[in-house]
Chains A and B, each alone.
Chain A
Amino acid sequence: MQITVNGEVMELPEMTMTVQHLLAHLQMENRIVVVELNQSIVHKSDHAKTGLANGDRVEIVHFVGGG
């Protein structure tokens, strides 16, 4: 399956089927991040039950220094 994460097109391994799997695949599962799937926010409690599909656009954001 091919999806776009933060503007980068990536090929996901077979078993990466949910938002939770994606965060684990990217080694971000323990970070403070917020996920948006096709411009809708996926709350943390829904990460495990939200499936990914070919062509999805995912944004994974975090808090950075700013004024």
Chain B
Amino acid sequence: MMNSDESKSLCIGPYRFQSRLLLGTGKYPNFDIQRKAVEVSEANILTFAVRRMNVYDPAQPNFLELLDLNRYTLLPNTAGAENAEEAVRIARLAKASGLCDMIKVEVIGDWKTLLPDPIETYKACELLLQEDFIVLPYISDDVILAKRLEKLGVHAVMPGASPIGSGLGLVNSLHLSFIIEQSEIPVIVDAGIGTPGDAAKAMELGADGVLLNTAVAGAGDPVKMAAAMKLAIEAGRMGYEAGRIPMKRCATASSPLEGMIR
């Protein structure tokens, strides 16, 4: 039985967060909508990518520079990396900003599915742990890889629900459950979430958090969807903590069978 503090917060490495929603910052229609979506989501952790500045347009606005950085923990990703070496290079650049020491290790192995390369991901995690990063690898729903990474010392594992940006929801709930049941470290379901129902379902399985981006940024009303995701993740978590009823193939009456008027 968890005490109420633990059940309420998400602990990753040395950090503790009130919100179990990790929000991506890509692809919003504009900064104003994005700012409002971030606000109503009540997310504590925001993900970012690391990219070259445009040397010909130094005045370009930047979302991160508009944020109150005391209110958020940054989770930069290594998106774009195709091997461990590239991922480590991006991670070091992110950390050198002095703004963060968490890193989402994302090493893509296939550009059609955007599925992660497990071997390069593992190697990158190994190197980054040696450099004292707080390491959160994005992985496919590979139960054994999750176990191996936990043994290596990563601070959380982030299995995908379905391909990045697909909105397909949880395509393999069974494997996600296996990962969740075996893990002593946080499991954050990352990628593929389409609806609040998907996010709630992930939390009902016992996930410690959900990371999503496109589901909010690409919604008809991103601000409303951000609010919906917040509620869904809270509802799913409460449902998990409450303990669901077992599934049965036959009906069981809810009303008494005795005392019927004949």
| 0 or 1 for each of B92-124: is its CB under 8 Å from A? (1 = yes) | 111011110000000000000000000000000
State which of B24, B54, B96 has its C-beta within 8 Å of the C-beta of A34: B96
A20 to chain B, nearest CB (A): 15
Interchain CA distance A7-B98 in the complex, whole Å: 25
Complex contact B77–A66 (CB within 8 A): yes
- With an 8 Å Cβ cutoff, the count of chain A residues facing the other chain is 26
Looking at A31, A34, A60, A63, the one whose CB has the most chain B CB atoms below 10 A away is A63
B4 to chain A, nearest CB (A): 31
Complex contact A65–B26 (CB within 8 A): yes
Complex contact A36–B65 (CB within 8 A): no
Determine the chain A residues whose CB is within 8 A of the CB of B93 once the complex forms.
34, 36, 41, 59, 61
State which of A7, A33, A67 has its C-beta within 8 Å of the C-beta of B24: A67
A17 within 8 A of B: no
| 0 or 1 for each of A21-44: is its CB under 8 Å from B? (1 = yes) | 000001110011110100101011
Complex contact A66–B48 (CB within 8 A): yes
Complex contact A61–B47 (CB within 8 A): no
State which of B34, B53, B211 has its C-beta within 8 Å of the C-beta of A67: B211
State which of A10, A32, A64 has its C-beta within 8 Å of the C-beta of B55: A10
Complex contact B55–A31 (CB within 8 A): no
12 A-B residue pairs with CB within 8 Å:
A27-B59, A31-B62, A39-B89, A60-B52, A62-B62, A63-B97, A64-B51, A65-B25, A65-B28, A66-B24, A66-B26, A67-B26
Instruction: List 14 additional A-B contacts (Cβ < 8 Å) besides A6-B54, A66-B77.
Output: A5-B55, A26-B53, A34-B93, A59-B52, A62-B62, A62-B64, A63-B48, A63-B94, A65-B27, A66-B26, A67-B25, A67-B49, A67-B212, A67-B213
- Residue numbers of B with Cβ under 8 A of A are 24-28, 34, 47-56, 58-59, 62-65, 74, 76-77, 79, 89, 92-94, 96-99, 164-165, 191, 211-214
